[in-house]
């Protein structure tokens, strides 16, 4: 996590850091919605613009489903999951007395990694996350700068971004930048395709912009203080990333509350 002094330096926005045509003030894109956003240059990792930078740096929250690309990547790279391995979503899912039932529409065919990401299928991720050994998922997440419990109460809850892990918007931006820089590797092709599909027809459709393919993921969580929070995390253009964007807002749906803010920012930035 960046210290406040480092954050102030990062987003001081001297002219040499600004992208031509990119917005420096993201507040107008929030339209009265309470939240924060971080827009990074994918190549340098430097800040292009931010909204509520203190909130972006200082409010850790469960990442929810924005963690799923990292979880599925770790499973694939460890040889624990084949990208085409099928799973028929039963819809219902209860872990430790909590319901994590899938909210996506019924899918007639079995899901694979790509479609599971597009639809943000909880049961798919939880089912295969049970293949991790003790501490394996936490070590995999650490490669992206995400700190997680080595011994979570339930690895499935960690995989769903619900327990044993919290991130700030800044931290998630850095993690998605690392993912974006690796996404061209053939082994990660289904992850990138799933993130593109999430924006094209899945949970993140409202982050789509004309003529540019976006890779994105949404998340909806309840913070430790009981607040409902909504995430969007992604990068664009998906096949040659130039910007990384994280949006965190108060709301109950990443798709309905955070993704539209992301779409407005990306349209202006690109």
Q: Which domains does the chain have, with CATH numbers?
A: 4-269 (3.40.710.10)
CA atoms lying within 13 Å on the CB side of residue 233 = 28
The whole-model pTM stands at 0.91
* Residue among 55, 53, 43, 54 nearest 19 (CA): 43
Q: How far apart are the first and last CA of the chain?
A: 27
pLDDT more than 70, % of the chain = 91
Contact call for residues 215 and 234 (beta carbons, < 8 A): yes
User: What are the pLDDT digits (tens) for 29-43?
Assistant: 998 899 999 999 999
pLDDT more than 90, % of the chain = 86
Residue 207 sits at the vertex; the CA angle it makes with 174 and 162, to the nearest 5 degrees, is 55
pLDDT for the residue 18? 46
Q: What is the DSSP letter of 110?
A: P
Residue 11 has pLDDT above 50, yes or no: no
Residues with Cβ < 8 Å from 218, sequence gap 6 or more?
65, 66, 120, 198, 203, 204, 207, 230, 231, 232, 233, 253, 254, 255, 258, 259
- Give the confidence band of 8 by pLDDT, cuts at 50, 70, 90: very low
User: What are the pLDDT digits (tens) for 123-181?
Assistant: 999 999 999 999 999 999 999 999 999 999 899 999 999 999 999 999 999 999 999 99
| Separation of CA 195 from chain center | 9
Cis peptide before 54 (omega within 30 of 0): no
Q: Tokens in use for 194?
A: 């799933």
Could you give the 3-state DSSP secondary structure of residue 74? Answer: helix
User: What are the pLDDT digits (tens) for 58-101?
Assistant: 999 999 999 999 999 999 999 999 999 999 999 999 999 999 99
């Amino acid at each position: 996590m960046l210290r406040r002094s480092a954050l102030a330096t990062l987003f001081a926005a001297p002219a040499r850091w600004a992208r031509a045509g990119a917005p420096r003030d993201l507040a107008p894109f929030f339209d009265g919605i309470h939240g924060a956003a971080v827009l990074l240059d994918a190549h340098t990792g430097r800040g292009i613009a931010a909204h509520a930078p203190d909130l972006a740096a200082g409010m850790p929250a469960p990442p929810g489903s924005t963690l799923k690309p990292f979880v599925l990547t770790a499973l694939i790279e460890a040889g624990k999951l084949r990208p085409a391995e099928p799973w028929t979503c039963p819809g219902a899912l209860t872990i430790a007395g909590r319901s994590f039932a899938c909210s996506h529409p019924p899918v007639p065919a079995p899901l694979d990694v790509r479609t599971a990401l597009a639809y943000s299928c909880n049961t798919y991720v939880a089912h295969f996350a049970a293949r991790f050994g003790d501490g394996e998922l936490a070590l995999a997440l650490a490669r992206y700068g995400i700190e997680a419990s080595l011994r979570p109460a339930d690895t499935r809850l960690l995989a769903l971004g619900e327990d044993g892990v919290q991130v700030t918007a800044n931290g998630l931006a850095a993690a998605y930048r690392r993912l974006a820089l690796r996404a061209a590797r053939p082994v990660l092709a289904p992850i990138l395709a799933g993130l593109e599909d999430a924006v094209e027809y899945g949970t993140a459709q409202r982050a789509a912009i004309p003529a540019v393919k976006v890779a994105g993921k949404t998340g909806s969580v309840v913070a430790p203080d009981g607040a409902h929070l909504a995430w969007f995390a992604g990068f664009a253009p998906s096949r040659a990333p130039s910007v990384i964007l994280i949006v965190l807002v108060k709301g109950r749906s990443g798709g309905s509350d955070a993704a539209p803010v992301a779409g407005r920012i990306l349209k202006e930035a690109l």
